Amino acid sequence: MKGKHQLAEAIGRRIKGRVRVDAPMAALTTFRIGGPADLLVEPMGTEDLLRLTEILSQEDIEVLVMGRGSNLLVSDRGIRGLVIRIGRGLSRLRFESKDLVDVEAGCSVNRLVRETVRRGLGGIERLFGIPGSLGGAVRMNAGAFGQEIGERLQEAWVVRWGPGDQSGLFKKGTHELNLRYRDCDLDRNEMFLKFKFRFILDDPQLLEERRKEALFWRKERQPLGWPSAGSVFKNPPGMSAGELIERCGLKGKSVGDAVISEKHANFIINQGRATAAEVRRLMELAKEEVFRREGVLLEEEIRLVGEWGDDL
Ligand SMILES: Cc1cc2nc3c(=O)[nH]c(=O)nc-3n(C[C@H](O)[C@H](O)[C@H](O)COP(=O)(O)OP(=O)(O)OC[C@H]3O[C@@H](n4cnc5c(N)ncnc54)[C@H](O)[C@@H]3O)c2cc1C
Structural domain boundaries, residue 263: 223-305
* Model pLDDT for residues 107-160, shown as the tens digit of each residue: 999 999 999 999 999 999 999 999 999 999 999 999 999 999 999 999 999 999
**What are the angstrom distances between the C-alpha of 292 and each of 165, 232, 285?**
50, 19, 10
On whether the CB atoms of residues 131 and 30 are closer than 8 A, the answer is: yes
Geometric angle at alpha carbon 153, from 150 and 156, rounded to 5°: 110
> Do the domain assignments include residue 148?
yes
The residues annotated as belonging to the active site are 182, 231, 301
Q: What's the Cα-to-Cα distance from 282 to each of 47, 77, 308, rounded to whole Å?
A: 42, 18, 15
State if residue 137 touches ligand 1 by the CB under 6 angstroms criterion.
yes
In a shared domain, residues 60 and 8: yes
Q: What share of the chain is helix, strand, coil (3-state, %, to 5)?
A: 35, 30, 40
pLDDT at 164: 73
**Are 63 and 146 found together in one domain?**
no
- CB of 101 sitting under 6 A from ligand 1: no
Task: Categorize the per-residue pLDDT at 309 as very low, low, confident or very high, splitting at 50, 70 and 90.
Answer: confident
- For the CA of 127, the closest atom of ligand 1 is 8
Model pLDDT for residues 271-280, shown as the tens digit of each residue? 999 999 999 9
At 1, the pLDDT band (50, 70, 90 cuts) reads low
Are residues 113 and 131 located together in one domain of the fold?
yes
Mean pLDDT of 223-250: 98
Q: Which of 31, 48, 71, 193 to mutate to test the pocket of ligand 1 (most atoms within 8 A of CB)?
A: 71
73, 88, 103 - which closes a domain: 88
Q: Based on the fold, state whether residues 96 and 213 are members of the same structural domain.
A: yes
**pLDDT for the residue 163:** 80
Given 69, 88, 107, the domain boundary residue is 88
Total-model pTM: 0.97
Same-domain status, 76 and 188: no
Domain final residue, candidates 48, 71, 88: 88
Beta strands per DSSP E along the chain: 18-24, 36-42, 63-66, 72-74, 79-85, 93-95, 100-104, 121-122, 143-144, 147-148, 153-160, 168-173, 190-198, 200-201, 254-255, 258-260, 268-270, 303-305
Q: Is the pLDDT of residue 232 over 90?
A: yes
Q: What is the mean pLDDT of the chain?
A: 96
The band of 165, judged by pLDDT with boundaries at 50, 70 and 90, is confident
